[in-house]
Chain A
Amino acid sequence: MNIKTIGDLRYFWIAALVTIGVATTIASGGGGGSGGSVEPPPPTGGPTLTITAANGTAVSSAVLVSIGASFDLADISRIDLVLPAAAGLAAPSRSSSLQGFGAQAGVLANCPNGGTVDITETVADPTKPTIGDRIVAVFTECDNNDGYVISGTVDLTIAALQGDPLTDVFLVGFETLLTDVVVTEAPSYSPRTATSS
């Protein structure tokens, strides 16, 4: 009886251990550097980063993440886009970040902490994302009080769409063109600047 109890307890603890191990893996995003949604650009040791063919994709991703930290692309596009959030899937709601701008297509809006953003969009259907929809945002020293100051032109075109846009999870692929984009962390953050041209 005692032997059986000990055996049962062992299986219980093994099951508990495996459960904890799986849960901590999921909670941490996978453990490795790949756990996050986007890998940061390689460290440069200097205040600016030169864009090359080798790091172009990583830098573009990092710039979009920086922009995403300040602006909800769903708001920029005025489409109820749901982009995968950095740690968890975003709910299909508009953030308050750009509502403060009252941004509309082709309208120049002031950023809360200075600077402007001019957004132009060409969409087939304003109620849902469609392949070919294009969003062009021109930032000029735009500080949305989210830790980043953004300048330059971000040109996004929806190139791929998978899943049902009417659910809260689907995949949107963007073709991205960054022109003279400079993202600078706000003074309260550690100095680090990425430039693109």
Chain B
Amino acid sequence: MDELTRMTAAGIAAAVAAGDVSAVEVTRAHLDRIAAVDPGVHAFLHVAADGAVRAARAVDERRAAGQPLGPLAGVPVALKDVFTTTDMPTTCGSRILAGWQPPYDATVTSRLRRAGLIILGKTNMDEFAMGSSTENSAFGPSRNPWDLRRVPGGSSGGSAAAVAAFEAPLGVGTDTGGSIRQPGAVCGIVGVKPTYGGSSRYGVVAFASSLDTPGPLARTVLDAALLHEVMSGHDPRDSTSVDAPVPPVVAAARQADVAGLRVGVVTELGGEGYQPGVIARFAEAVELLESLGAKISEVSCPHFSYALPAYYLIAPSECSSNLARFDAMRYGLRVGDDGTRSAEEVMSLTRAAGFGAEVKRRIMLGTYALSSGYYDAYYGKAQQVRTLITRDFDAAFEQVDVLVSPATPTTAFLIGERADDPMAMYLADLCTIPSDLAGNAALSVPCGLAPEDGLPVGLQVMAPVLADDRLYRVAAAVEAALDQRRGHPLLDEAAELGEGAAR
């Protein structure tokens, strides 16, 4: 493997700025890596080789002209296929949008381009971000670089797999119920859900608008912080965008200090149903934080056990409304338009042919929950539970500065293991959903391998709204201590992927 693909984003940016390597060389090294391993990993739905090299050349020209470069200029990035891009298709992993080329860039896309990041292509995802494994993609699942028989998590599984397989140093995902943190955890990398509204939803194809949050994936905490800072911040084009400065996440990642920090272990997120190796690594991470000077206590959040049912009412309800826009009239697939059928028939045939099973299930579940007669018992009740979960967080954050839990109940499961069992699949987001419902900030940072299967375990850290910087303090401290103890980064323990082998 080319050494350039092993570098951190921070290292690449520094080398490009110093002229030690060109952005074009860096980009070509990553394109070569994609060509070698992506037949097996299937992280990408679209690779934009020419566009990436052109963007890299522009960075090299700016440098040659003595113009200032941003902190991530010349660094390649893998973009989830839910962000609109004018020069690449945007499919959301759905047949209904196959080949769709949007007329505008998402705000996140524009910010990456403006900062001189090199977009290598668009990554695979569960259809419309609904799922925890990428198995709901219409274009086939991505595979976990630690074990190609296993899922990389989801829905941002393509971006997570690309970063873990050294196809890109950085990835961008979206988190609605855990779709950044869960794939980050099971691929052994860092995944961050910023505070809701901290990053723009403009040009993000909507799933559940009150929850969807774009965020970074990276192999190191500092790299995630650098991307977080570049992609986030107020956007007048998103009416729910928070008009406040981006929390000082890069400074916090460099600080990497938890001395005196009050850390709460959530009572309700652990115990029965959790894999023993996950529990063991999590307990060690808590001991580690204590040894680094954090003050540990246990905190109960009694309504968290209702987060999963509340989420599976709120998210499908919003999805059933948002996905009504796929009506076969203005863009995307159209089926059965033979001159005899009405618009309504064409719409129904198109949606039946264009959506996969999970999307159909959630649209119907949401339609049910919003029906008159059921609204108060389901959607209305779920919104009240959402208030109670937010109050649990508020009470907890009066006692502690951050909360911690395992990021997922289990390590990466086998492809196909839960594909026909929606309820088992939904459990993958058991620990991550509370922060989505409350809109606060949370991340997953690797905390070792489960002894029983040798697969990565993630430590979840949760912080109050707009206190995203606390996440990075904790995660950077854990990462530094574990890397030192181990003598190398965790990903060094992943098997080298057979280059060129299409498994």
Is this pair of chains taken from one and the same complex?
Answer: no
